[in-house]
Amino acid sequence: MSLKQTVYFMTLVGALAGLICWFVQSTIGDLTIGIGQAQQNIIVAALMGALIGGLTVGFADHWSSDRVVARWVVAGVALGTAAGLLGGFLYLPILDALIRTNASGPGEFLGRPLAWLIAGGLIGLVTGLRWFGVNRLRSVHALLGGLVGGALGGIIFTFFGRSDEVFQAIAYMLTGMGITCGVTLAPVLLRDGVLQFISSADARAQNKYGSPQQEWVLQEGDRFTIGSQGSERRMTHMTMYARPVDIYIPDAMIAKRQAVLFAKARSFYIQQHRENVGPQGQPVSPLQVNNMNVTGTRELRDGDEIIMGQTLLRFYSKRQAPAAPPAAAGRRT
């Protein structure tokens, strides 16, 4: 899936989560079952966190991995729920100190956006933890996206949504969109490099990533493990919230964990994964850049072609000059 498509669909995920939360909030209010405003906000914030945490992890893994893993989705739901509950409970002192004591003054117009901002930021932060192993900044991106989305949603709800259900729905949808965009859009905007799938003689890889061509974003600090290892339940080294490889390529001739692609000090590198190195230091499964074997660490340049197994990938970078022609590419590494 291309970068534009990824951002588009993840935005829809956030909007869907917000719309569901608005529907639940409206239903609770219509039922008049004795639940106060504060309790409603706690319930809705927890639901928002659960939906965004679970849907974001599930959809992201579906597009970039071999399958959706239930325990990762459950972890996203649990962490999102906890963040939403915390944001809901933090709303209580804001409600008492600003909104109720200044019902017709500036306190209400400041308090509600502040409460939405806090809840959105917390939900975004824990959702971004899904990519903590790749780059810790992803959680910061999600936090910032949640803060922006929550603030916009709170402002729209405060000034337009108290008596208009359409604007209420828009407010909730903007909050959800802000959080999911923080997870996906910030890395795209800040990207320094892109790894693109070109083609593969393995039908599984070609069918999965060939149309449209899959792209993986790289930025400073990223570290991706590339391989064919799926998310089998018997794997013992997996944590509850991390997958065995970050770039999954279902090519039968690619090692389970074949290579590591990382960005450091404004440069990009690829190297053999330690599990793909034999007892004599030779690679178990070959890795080539521009038709040259890589046995150690190789710096990548714009336009470099990477071959693993039966799969061809191409690396693009806006930082570095294009790669030299294969004949002048230099010595093997």
Sole residue written with tokens 């002048």: 328
Q: Across the beta sheet with 311-317, what order do the strands follow?
A: 215-218, 193-200, 311-317, 305-308, 287-289, 292-293
Greater confidence (67 vs 331) lies with 67
Q: How many Cα atoms occupy the beta-carbon half-sphere of 201 within 13 Å?
A: 7
Pair 146, 67 in one domain: yes
> Would you state the pLDDT for residue 3?
67
Rounded to whole angstroms, what are the CA distances from 238 to 97, 133, 314?
45, 12, 29
Q: Across the beta sheet with 223-227, what order do the strands follow?
A: 247-248, 223-227, 259-264, 267-272, 297-299
Pair 185, 197 in one domain: no
Q: For residue 220, is it within any domain?
A: yes
Residue 306, helix vs strand vs coil: strand
In degrees, to the nearest 5, what angle opens at C-alpha 103 toward C-alphas 98 and 109?
Answer: 65
Pair 144, 207 in one domain: no
User: What is the separation, in whole angstroms, between the first and last Cα of the chain?
Assistant: 32
Confidence of residue 270 (pLDDT cuts 50, 70, 90): very high
Pair 174, 221 in one domain: no
- Per-residue pLDDT at 305 exceeds 80: yes
- Per-residue pLDDT at 232 exceeds 60: no
Greater confidence (87 vs 253) lies with 253
Q: Could you tell me the maximum CA-CA distance found in the chain, to the nearest angstrom?
A: 77
Out of 189, 206, 228, a domain closes at 189
Out of 189, 223, 255, a domain closes at 189
Pair 13, 148 in one domain: yes
| Owning domain of residue 204 | 193-328
Structure tokens at 40: 């409603």
DSSP letter at 131 equals G
Residue 101, helix vs strand vs coil: coil
Please state the domain count of the chain.
Answer: 2
Judged by average pLDDT, the poorest of 8-17, 32-41, 126-135, 217-226 is: 32-41
Pair 104, 172 in one domain: yes
What average pLDDT does the segment 270-290 reach?
89
Write the pLDDT tens digit of every residue in 111-136.
778 888 888 888 888 887 877 777 77
Q: Are 254 and 228 in contact (CB under 8 A)?
A: yes
Pair 143, 234 in one domain: no
Residue 162, helix vs strand vs coil: coil
The DSSP result for 42-82, as a single string, is HHHHHHHHHHHHHHHHHHHHHHHSSS--HHHHHHHHHHHHH
Which helix (H) or strand (E) covers residue 259, if one does?
Answer: strand 259-264
Structure tokens at 284: 């178990």
Pair 276, 206 in one domain: yes
Q: For residue 333, is it within any domain?
A: no
Write the pLDDT tens digit of every residue in 310-322.
999 999 987 665 6
Q: How far is CA 266 from the centre of its chain?
A: 22
Greater confidence (12 vs 318) lies with 12
CATH code of the domain in which 197 resides: 2.60.200.20
Q: Are 182 and 141 in contact (CB under 8 A)?
A: yes
> Would you state the pLDDT for residue 203?
95
